Structure 1
Amino acid sequence: MADAIVTLALEQLLRITAKNIGEEVRLVGNVENEVKNLGRNLKAIQAVLHDAEEKQVKDEAVRHWLDQLKDTSYDIEDVLDEWNTEIMRLQVEKQKVPSFFPCSCFGIKQVVLRRDIAQKIQELNEKLDNIAKEKDAYNLKEMKSTEARKRVQTTSFVDVAKIFGRESEKDSLVSKLLDEGNEEQKTLPVISLVGMGGIEKTTLAQLAYNNDEVKNHFDTRVWVRVSDPFDEFKVATAIIEGLKCPTKDFVEFQSLLNCIHESIKDKKFLLVLDDVWSEDYNKWESFYHCLKNGSYGSKVLITTRNERVASIMGSVAPIIMEQLAQEECWLLFSQLAFFGRSPEECEKLEKIGREIVAKCKGLPLATKTIGSLLRFKRTRDEWQRILDSEIWKLEEIEKSFLSPLMLSYNNLPSEIRQCFSYCAIFPKDHNLMKDHLIKLWMAQGYLGFDNDTEMEVIGQEYFDHLASRSFFQEFEKDDDENIICCKMHDIVHDFAQFLTKNEYFTVGIKRGSEDLVINTSTEKARHSMLTLHVGATFPISICSIKSLRSLLIDCEDFLYSLPDDVLPNLFGELTSLRALETSTRIIRANLIAVIPKEVKKLIHLKYLNLSRQGVEKLPETLCELYNLQTLDISWCEKLKELPQGMGKLMSLRHLINFETRSLSCMPKAIEKLTCLRTLSDFFIKSSSSDGSKACSTLACLKDLKHLRGTLEIRGLGNVTNVIEVKRMQILSNKKNLLYLKLHFDKDGEGERKNDDDELLLEALQPHPNLEKLDIEDYRGSTFYSDWIMSLTGLRKLSLFSCTNCMYLSPLGKLPSLESLSIDGTRVKKLVTGIESDGAFSSSTSAILFPKLKVLEFWWMSEWEEWDYGNTILPCLASLSINYCGKLRALPDGLLQGAKNLQHLEIFDSDLLEERHRKGTGEDWQKISHIPNIEFTYSYLQGGPLPLR
């Protein structure tokens, strides 16, 4: 960790001095020499840090020296950041000052500020001198230093989903879950998996939980992570959420139990309580009596490290999970360590590999970790060094089975080590959202400082690096197989906390425990996450930890509001913060209603998350946060106004503003935020909506060329100068924008002409890299544009509420289209096969939509005929037709040509339902080969309403 912090301080120093602000620096005499001395000291210390990091594990004196160095390096980083912030402030002020004012008018204030910064640098240099001299007492070896940040080599990700050597335990567990037992027995069966940490108890429980027989056997299943301490209120709330009960804001534990008692009545349920530690029977007893209201055959499955816990909870004959046999460990290890190697390489490394596996002592987690590490060690000598490492012999590490983790951690680049260590801020079993984590890393400077670099891409590489070495698990992926979320194993989390000791602390605040948060172990904490449970109040004592760089606040009580004096006090005291987050699970939260003007004191702040809060206005002083990179105001449904001076936020890269539609307008100054990578929603108001403010127009997007990901543009119906939009080519320079949502809605008076939308659609040509396109409220009678047909990489297209549209483009010629959804058009006859000249061809078969997998139609009230011709849709797997009451039949060509069609859904389309219904429909035989067919009746007739 010290290595990474010193590297950050040195990198920041080089960045500032490279700006060459010349005469302004020399105004304070000896500051240049002090800066040079600071750089020399940092480089000298950096040269021995790798050796010091390894020796600190068994040498307490070295560990103490490193702690001193870390504290001083943090202070250096603060001063350098303050210096850089002042430079940015002067740049902003110079832009506002008329040219006829002489620069000397502002000179005195600049000199005073520079002298103050120089004095701090001098004091820190004295501290660093002493630290540099002290290093000689520890005989630390110098290693070559690398000043430049290296790009991490991209590697393919191996997700080991298979569980090795657990067939007998799995069969036994599934059998016990399915066993009906004795119906006269009134007890609720409790089944337990018992074993040490890292033995795959949770993995085995998940396999059984998701087993098809088990899923079909129970009416409902609930999975709850318990951990230590056993929080009855939290567990009860999680059970209610898992049962999908109507949301009620209970504040009493007994009310939660009553809700569970009623919700499981006459239901056969499976409740999994994962990772139970508490030996207090009283905590379990209240749940046990409540759960007995379920129907016969219900089960509770617990996982625990302690056999006594299983006994106290009434588990009979627990399934004891022992260490894996050596051969099973070898199979798991081989799958990772030998990935991508030739058989000859594997054979040369097998002997030494088996010796390394023996040191993992049959623990799957240890085996995965060391296998993931050795996958990237190419030579036998590198493997031998791992086998001979002294870390295997360290008693403190050995007792906690952390040796493989320490070996893998030490082999990470220093910048990735600190990214891993940062995860200690989260509680156990926390869902780590990848994008959220990367933004927090960025706020701490772990991904570099240069606004022109793609720090987000570097963060993605670091995340993948950690995932490929088994530091993360339980990955959730989106439709494109990109990881969006993951977790850390408990032991990996323990390891992260072992590394960071008192630098990070995570605490849950209960009612009455607010004054117990701060103690001697948290005095020098740098990062903290607080969870305010129901009934708790904010611990104002947190403001005494002035060294905090991260404060993440999670409030579970939707009724609680921060007192008026809390935020001004917090902003005034915690001025070293880089990341501040106030989050809640409730959309309409009351935690924060007003952001005070004192927010400007957080000069180092780079990440500010106010999502789901009740704020109505952001103060203009927020625009003095020149370092701010991320501002999250998503779901702030009461927010009416953004600061007019937002153009001063020169470092802002992410403006996350989902569902902030109550804003009167977006400030025109947004056009100056040329570093923006994320702009969730951009909306155009009519000229009459707020004439008192300088509101943004579509032209404000032109220079935001770095936008990436998703952009949603609302209010296109308010655009008046279409010719100017076409001339400026507003979207065509955004090569990293992959998902575009265009809303042609209008909030002003007067009707919009159909051809206005057609011309505007043509003018909104995006970059050819676009992959997804949604269009809503389009009023053109024809949906056609040359640029749409040129999107060779377009994978998803959706048309919503296009109520005037009667003619569609020949969309079948889009070569990459995988999903097409058409909603609310006035099309009467849909023609699938269209040649380039618009004529329908019936003489030859044509492969259109070559990659289309999903095809949906919604609310096509005028649609009567589907002219399919001889078209072939080779990949079509799912077809859904909803609210298309006039469509008479599915075309024979579709049913014969779509050989891969697996799912057909027809909802509230009476003529189709009648014609294709099983047994009575004349065309049933034409669709009977499709494996999954659903006819869903209208909710007006008592049937289910499908989700759109």
Structure 2
Amino acid sequence: MGKDIVRKCGGVPLAVKTLGSQLYSKTDEREWKLVRDSEIWELKQEDAGHILPALRLSYTRLPPHLRQCLAYCSHLQKDGTEYSSNALIRYWMAHGILDQSHVHGNMELEDIGELYFKDLWARSFFQNVTDYGIFKYLRVVELDRCSLQVLPSSIGSLKHLRYLNLSINEEITKVPNAICRLQSLQTLYLDGCENLEELPRDISELISLRTLDLTTKQTNFPENGVGCLKSLRFLGIFECSNLNSLPRETSYLASLRNLVLCSCEQLNLGNVNYQGTPLRLHKLDIFNLPRMVALPEWLQGAANTLQLLAIHECENLEALPEWLASFTSLRKLVLDSCPKLSSLPEGMRSLTSLRELVIDDCLELERRCQRDIGEDWPKISHVPHVSFQY
């Protein structure tokens, strides 16, 4: 039957290729018979509208959703003008001819259009298609501070993307879930996106993500989200005015090296399901967390690894815990603008690795830590560098 069909194509390679692309995956004998025995082969050229029977036959066999998209292309200029696939997909969208009913899942219109284009291309309805390889090879995308309002879901096709910066786009409200298909992504910056309503629901699928900075209007992190990012090394949470808790899962805590928490007025650091999980945290920077009255218990898991602890503008922090004395790797401690902090733990002399202590704008604590005369000076006299201005 295949040889019969080839003979009917009259030696035209395009006709053979077009029908072949539709039949190569068909294993039902009836499909092949319908093509071979179609009445379209018998039409005269003028009756067929000067269209090769093979091409007309392949068109009539198209699914309705593809046939409509292909028919639209008859409106395009045929004077050598080049069209991008993205432009064509947007034309289809504008005319409302992208059918969402036959696809599975919550696919964006751009994704559906891309499927249609690739399907028509595979069936040889598009010729001279140049694949420039940008969705294939791009590694870095910088879109910070560019008044971005919508990020197209086609971003999910950049399979090799490793670095994506969307910082300080104050008008963006949503990041498409398609971004979660970027399994090579290592760095994602969403900080300063003050109107971002929520993070993509499948963000845990970013299995290579190592650095994440974010700003969101969410009140909490859903389960199986950020807390399940097992490759995460750096996490920055900035100006999340509604956020009241960190992710409850400890998967991300076990992998983190650096954690920055900044200007989250409602954030309670104690809402983590801590069960003595050993951490590998090296640096913890805390800025302007008014609800923090004490360091969270889960931080004890980093007693053997934490090297820098910096606490800034925490107006209600009343004391440092006695268990801080067990942080044998701590090299630098910064206490800045914490007015209620009036003394240091008794065990400070156990911090034998501590090389630098900075105390700034903590009036009572500064008084107590003055060299030789302050009540807390004996606790810190072993520290090589003690200063009172940050």
Task: Name the residue aligned to 1:682.
Answer: 214
Tell me which of 292, 312, 325 is aligned to 1:800: 312
Is 1:857 matched up with 2:359?
yes
Name the counterpart of 2:290.
779
**Displacement of 1:624 after TM fit?**
4.6
* Partners of 1:684 and 1:698 within 8 A in 2: no
The residue aligned with 2:221 is: 697
Contact 1:706–1:736 at 8 Å: present in 2 too?
Answer: yes
| Counterpart code for 1:819 | K
- Checking the alignment, whether the CA contact within 8 Å between 2:250 and 2:274 is kept in structure 1 is no
* 8 Å contact from structure 2 (residues 274, 298) kept in 1: no
Residues 832, 94 of structure 1: CA spacing in aligned structure 2 closer, same or farther, 3 A cutoff? same
CA distance in 1, matches of 2:159, 2:366: 58
- How far apart are residue 824 of structure 1 and its match? 2.0
1:768 to 271, 276, 279: 279
Give 1:622 shift.
3.0
CA distance in 2, matches of 1:94, 1:109: 17
Instruction: Write out per-residue CA displacement over residues 212-251 of structure 1, whole angstroms, 9 at most, x where no aligned residue.
Output: xxxxxxxxxxxxxxxxxxxxxxxxxxxxxxxxxxxxxxxx
Q: Verify: 1:893 aligned to 2:378, yes or no.
A: yes
- Could you say which structure has the greater relative contact order, defined with CA pairs below 8 angstroms and 6 or more residues apart? 2
Equivalent in the alignment of 1:817: 330
**CA 643–758 in structure 1, closer or farther in 2 if over 3 Å, else same:** closer
Shift of 1:645: 3.6
How far residue 742 of structure 1 moved from its aligned partner, in angstroms, is: 2.3
CA–CA separation in structure 2 for the residues paired with 1:677 and 1:648: 10
Counterpart among 542, 565, 576 of residue 132 in structure 2 = 576
Aligned partners of 1:623 and 1:645 also within 8 Å = no
1:654 corresponds, among 169, 182, 186, to 186
Q: For the Cα contact (< 8 Å) 1:636–1:659, is it kept in 2?
A: yes
In structure 2, distance between residues paired with 1:767 and 1:716: 27
Q: Deviations over 1:14-55 (max 9, x none)?
A: xxxxxxxxxx996179xxxxxxxxxxxxxxxxxxxxxxxxxx
Residues of 2 paired with 1:714 and 1:116: CA distance? 50
**8 A contact 1:783–1:807 mirrored in 2:** yes
Q: CA deviation at 1:642?
A: 4.4
Alignment check: 8 A CA contact 2:194 2:215 kept: no
Q: 2: distance between equivalents of 1:767 and 1:732? A: 11
CA distance 1:768–1:623, shift in 2 (3 Å): same
- The one-character-per-residue Cα deviations of 1:267-316 (angstroms, maximum 9, x if unpaired) are xxxxxxxxxxxxxxxxxxxxxxxxxxxxxxxxxxxxxxxxxxxxxxxxxx
1:611 and 1:636 in contact (8 A); partners too: no
Contact 1:655 1:679 in 2 (8 A): yes
Q: Which runs of 5+ in 1 are unaligned?
A: 1-23, 30-92, 98-106, 121-545, 547-571, 578-601, 688-695, 747-751, 835-845, 869-878, 880-886, 908-947
**Where does residue 790 of structure 1 map in the other structure?**
301
- Per-residue CA shift, 1:536-593, capped at 9, x if unaligned? xxxxxxxxxx9xxxxxxxxxxxxxxxxxxxxxxxxx97x424xxxxxxxxxxxxxxxx
Unaligned runs of 5+ in 2: 1-21, 28-102, 108-114
Q: Aligned letter for 1:812?
A: A
Distance 1:793 1:643 in 2: 35
Matching residue of 2:368: 866
- Structure-2-length-normalised TM-score: 0.57
SS at match of 1:797: strand
Corresponding residue SS for 1:831: coil
Partner of 1:713: 237
Distance 1:717 1:617, change over 3 A: closer
Cα 1:605–1:823 shift into 2, 3 Å: same
Whole-Å Cα distance in 2 between the matches of residues 108 and 711 of structure 1?
A: 38
Residue aligning to 1:47: none
Q: Note closer, same or farther for the CA distance 1:674–1:736 as it changes in structure 2 (3 Å cut).
A: same
CA deviation vs aligned residue, 1:301-334 (integer Å, no higher than 9, x gap): xxxxxxxxxxxxxxxxxxxxxxxxxxxxxxxxxx
Change (3 A) 1:109 1:686: closer
SS of residue paired to 1:729? coil
Asked if the contact 1:620–1:645 (Cα under 8 Å) also holds between the matched residues in 2, the reply is no
> In the alignment, is the contact (CA less than 8 A) between 1:633 and 1:660 conserved in 2?
no
1:616 is aligned to: 148
Report deviation, 1:782: 3.6
| 1:656–1:679 Cα contact (<8 Å) kept | yes
Rounded Cα–Cα distance in structure 1 between residues aligned with 2:194 and 2:362: 31
* In 1: Cα distance, 2:104 partner to 2:117 partner: 14
CA distance in 2, matches of 1:765, 1:665: 33
Distance 2:276 2:311 in 1: 17
Amino acid aligned to 1:808: L
Letter in 2 for 1:823: D
Q: Contact between 1:813 and 1:848, CA under 8 Å: does it hold in 2?
A: yes
Contact 1:729–1:765 under 8 Å retained in 2: no
Q: 1:638 to 1:661 in 2, by over 3 A?
A: closer
Deviation at 1:855, TM superposition (A): 0.9
Aligned-residue identity in percent: 12
Q: What amino acid is aligned across from residue 857 of structure 1 in structure 2? A: I
CA distance in 2, matches of 1:795, 1:655: 23
- C-alpha separation in 1, matches of 2:234 and 2:139: 20
Shift of the 604–797 alpha-carbon distance from structure 1 to 2, 3 Å rule, reads same
- Contact (CA 8 Å) 1:654, 1:678: kept in 2 or not? yes
Separation of aligned partners in 2, 1:25 and 1:713: 53
Give the Cα–Cα distance (whole angstroms) in 1 for the partners of residues 135 and 192 of structure 2.
Answer: 26
Q: Residues 754-795 of structure 1: CA distance to partner in whole angstroms, max 9, x if unpaired?
A: xx7253367699761111112222334641433222312111
Of residues 337, 350, 358, the one that matches 1:848 is 350
* CA distance, structure 2, for counterparts of residue 605 and residue 790 of structure 1: 40
| CA distance, structure 2, for counterparts of residue 109 and residue 625 of structure 1 | 14
- Go from structure 1 to structure 2 and tell me whether the alpha carbon gap of 1:698 and 1:854 turns closer, same or farther (over 3 Å shift): farther
Distance apart, 1:744 and its partner CA: 5.5
Letter in 2 for 1:848: S
- How large is the Cα RMSD of the aligned pairs? 4.4
Q: Structure 1 residue 867: deviation in Å?
A: 7.4
Kindly state the Cα deviation for residue 732 of structure 1 after the two structures are TM-superposed.
3.2
Shift of 1:604: 1.7
Deviations 1:83-126 (A, max 9, x none): xxxxxxxxxx54448xxxxxxxxx99987655669xx9xxxxxx
In structure 1, distance between residues paired with 2:182 and 2:230: 15
Pair 655,863 (structure 1): closer, same or farther in 2 beyond 3 Å: same
